[in-house]
Amino acid sequence: MSDRRQLTNRSNASKSTGPTSDNGKIVSSGNATRHGILSGQLFLKNENPSEFQQLQLELHASLAPVGATELTLVERIAIAIWRQRRLVAAETASLNLNLDQRSISKGVNTELDHTYSDEPVSEDDLQPYDTEQERWCRSVLAEVEGLADVSLEAITKTAPLVYVQIKVEADEGNVEPDAYLEDYAGGIVAFVCELQHWCQKEITQAEQRPALMALAKQVEARRMILPRPTLELLTRYQTTLDNQLYKALKALRDAQEWRLKSMDAHASEVGSSDTEAT
């Protein structure tokens, strides 16, 4: 490099004031963070280092560290706060897993000991029952009970909902209703009996649904508290982090007090020297 180029670079470097924008400060702070003694292995794969850098910027602005010692202590404070945030996230994630609908349905089945019905309770069983479906089933049962003649002609005249169901299933097979019923195992009587049984089962589920949902709410409320071993572990970790944060804050305060006292002592010495010289 020529002498002129070296002089130019030195001149430009002396004019540099560092990053002035927020993003620039975060990047600059990130350079220090990447080479930090304490935070080198801090981040998990799903964590954003820029958020930690922003936390450090905010702490630097409020705590005003000076020198390597105070900067390191602020970094320790930032790490303690970062881990406390992670602890809160871990607790929230644990509770969310406990409150997952699949987990709640398993808890309901455990409470019922599989004696509630022949089939275990599913996630769908913990949702409000479709009132339109319930109303339709009750209307179908009323039509079936009023049938004096179980024939396609009688159903067409006196049981329109039953006929519509026959028509829908026949259309799915691309055949006429009478042809569909001729091929149906047991014929029209079997079809009506099976439809009646299905509607009765659906109404039973509709009537049982409020009790199931109430039980699910109780299971959910109980699972909003973490199991004792997990809670004790989180509590011990929280206590450890609180102690780390307190010690780092105290050490920073002591370091800053010592620095200020040293500056005052130095200023006094300089003042005395000036007085003696005068």
Structure confidence by residue, pLDDT tens digits, 161-214: 999 999 999 999 999 999 999 999 999 999 999 999 999 999 999 999 999 999
Q: What is the pLDDT of residue 225?
A: 87
Which DSSP symbol is given to 185?
T
Which pTM was predicted? 0.60
* DSSP SS3 for 174: coil
Question: In this predicted model, what pLDDT tens digit does every residue of 231-270 receive, in sequence order?
Answer: 899 999 999 999 999 999 999 999 999 999 988 777 777 6
Please give the share of the chain, as a percent, with pLDDT higher than 70: 81
Asked if 32 contacts 78 with a C-beta cutoff of 8 angstroms, the reply is no
Question: In this predicted model, what pLDDT tens digit does every residue of 28-48 receive, in sequence order?
Answer: 444 444 444 555 678 888 899
Confidence of residue 110 (pLDDT cuts 50, 70, 90): confident
- Under the phi-then-psi rule, with left for phi > 0, alpha for psi from -120 to 50, and beta for the rest, what region is 67? left
Q: What is the pLDDT of residue 199?
A: 97
> Which tokens hold the place of 277?
């010289």
> Which tokens hold the place of 210?
């409020």
Does position 159 have pLDDT exceeding 50, yes or no? yes
Averaged confidence pLDDT in the chain: 84
Confidence of residue 19 (pLDDT cuts 50, 70, 90): low
How far apart, in whole angstroms, are the C-alpha atoms of residue 32 and residue 35?
5
